[in-house]
Amino acid sequence: MCGIVGYTGGHQAAPILLDGLSRLEYRGYDSAGLAVRNGESLAEVVKATGKLYHLADKTDQGRSLIGTCGIGHTRWATHGDPSVTNAHPHVSGNCTGSGSGAVESDVVGVHNGIIENFAELKEKLLHHGYQFYSDTDTEVVVKLVDYYYKKYKIGPIDAITRTMVRVRGSYALALMFRDYPGEIFAARKDSPLIIGTADEAAYLASDVPAILKYTRQVYYIDNLQAARIAPGSVKFYDLNGDEVSLPLTEITWDAAAAEKGGYEHFMLKEIHEQPTAVRDTLNSLVKDGQIDLSATGLTDDVIGSLTQVDIVACGSAWHVGMAAQYVIEDLVKLPVRVELASEFRYRSIPMPGNTLVIVISQSGETADSLAALRVAKERGATTLAVVNVVGSTIAREADHVLYTLAGPEIAVATTKAYSAQLAALDVLAVQMAFLRGTVSGDQYTHLLEELATIPDKIRRVLEDKERLQWFSSKIVNAHDIFFIGRGLDYAISLEGSLKMKEISYIHSEAYAAGELKHGTISLIENNTLVIGVLTQSQLFEKTVSNMVECKSRGAYLMGITTNGNFAVEDSVNFTVYVPRTDEHFVSSLAVIPLQLLAYYTSVNRGLDVDKPRNLAKSVTVE
């Protein structure tokens, strides 16, 4: 949530900042602002509410802000309503926050996260003569930095580290000091922040796409660290103010991967990138017909000694965990528990010895998942991170890391990251089963051969998208949609329902089909759309029976099944077929029509597909 961009170098900063902010729009925001310094002159601050183009228009696409050092921000309101006054950047001076003009201020800053003790800190600062113009916690932290800077007559790094010790909560901070023209200072705790250098310039951002156009050499600033950024150089400091070194990471993503590439929306592009994302992820784990997990650090001994697997995640990643639960339990014969990270972190869950906790997160920065990872480690579990971003916090803190190779995902509604995670967990399940002796060598070979066919089969499903585009036009005015299935089909239904509700704004729910008669069927009315997922042969007839019950009460039925199950057409109104594969892996195919249906329904309703209201790509605050 929220986006930070910073630049210092030889070029005009404002156009670069606006470009970077435009690449972070997927994170969600309600206002935006820039602060730019021109040498030793005062900082020029411009802020606007609404979409980023309002800020661009206000600054003549950045051309009216002169200066080669600046910071920018897109805000998602937490403390204080969306307004120009509450928009970032904030200043240490007692200005009005009117949103435009030069400011007499020693410190200017932007902030992602939440300062939990801001009210207490604000009271302290009021006693010391500070005045406040906004309702934000960010203004409080900027003025606290200013307070320490002036009271103790210390440098920016020392003022920032004193502030870090004093505040509670999560934050990524970027600050400019009047006495240090051409430099940006930064700090982080639990909110992502990266810093890159190139050609006598330096860049700061809360996510890679913002600066990928300018540099591939980045540092991932660690938790409770500060940074001093000058053109072409960066230094890092711990809480004691001592300089520390961090490794330089090269971003291998193709810069074009963060562009639409001719597609109308990022989501549609990313749906079509799923064959590549799945193939790349599989190829990174399966080599010469054998699974190789050596890069994860998971040894055969660790896998062989496991007594339980816990999967912890949020949103779509949790749905991946739900699907993986069925696959691991069936293949590996180990008990698996799937937990929402936001619940796991607050529960006293018994954790027997040799428990593997798998934390799934596309960004590797999800606040609840990161907290759950830390809880699992405190309880003595072995932890495995399944993440898409190299060097992310969850990747760094987990005992073992399994990277997915989905590339940058820009649309808020995940598609290719979900599919890459699903493939990674399927490979892990097969290897665990083989090492623990619950599948034979022949079964192992068969399962790997089936996995290898998934990318091409996804491509075949995508070729049938016109039928789903047509069907979406028929359901565009639906008020309620119910997704039902059993076993793995229930896990797919959960993801299908989430996709539909988050981008089309149509109320949808997913239910285990067997639970319909325990209350849910009372919601069925004439023409209520019920989508049944029917890919599990042993459960096929039972789910069809549940769908027919809904039809008898006036429901309109859509079924998703595998090729050959043509009898389903006798019971439903509209059928979608996916290629046959081993039923453990069919989730990777059945989810594709549900993604496409949600996408086309959102388009037909004239909505912002890539940036649905009230949602953010990375949830980095609790």
* Residues with catalytic function: 2, 617
Asked if residues 591 and 419 have their Cβ atoms less than 8 Å apart, the reply is: yes
Q: How far apart are CA 384 and CA 398, in angstroms?
A: 6
Instruction: Give φ, ψ of 160 to 5 degrees.
Output: -70, -45
Q: How far apart are CA 252 and CA 196, in angstroms?
A: 14
- Taking each helix axis as running N to C, give the angle between helix 315-332 and helix 488-504, from 0 to 180 degrees, rounded to the nearest 10: 170
Query: Which residue in 232, 237, 152, 149 sits closest to 188, CA to CA?
Result: 237
Q: How far apart are CA 60 and CA 514, in angstroms?
A: 59
Residue 244: strand, helix, or coil = strand
- R_g over Cα of the chain: 26
- Judging by beta carbons within 10 Å of its beta carbon (0-12, 13-18, 19+), is residue 490 exposed, middle or buried? buried
First to last CA, the chain: 11
Q: How far apart are CA 195 and CA 226, in angstroms?
A: 11
- The tokens for 426 are 């399927």
Residue 417: strand, helix, or coil = helix
Residue 91: strand, helix, or coil = strand
Q: How far apart are CA 383 and CA 435, in angstroms?
A: 19
DSSP secondary structure string, 488-503? Answer: HHHHHHHHHHHHHHHH
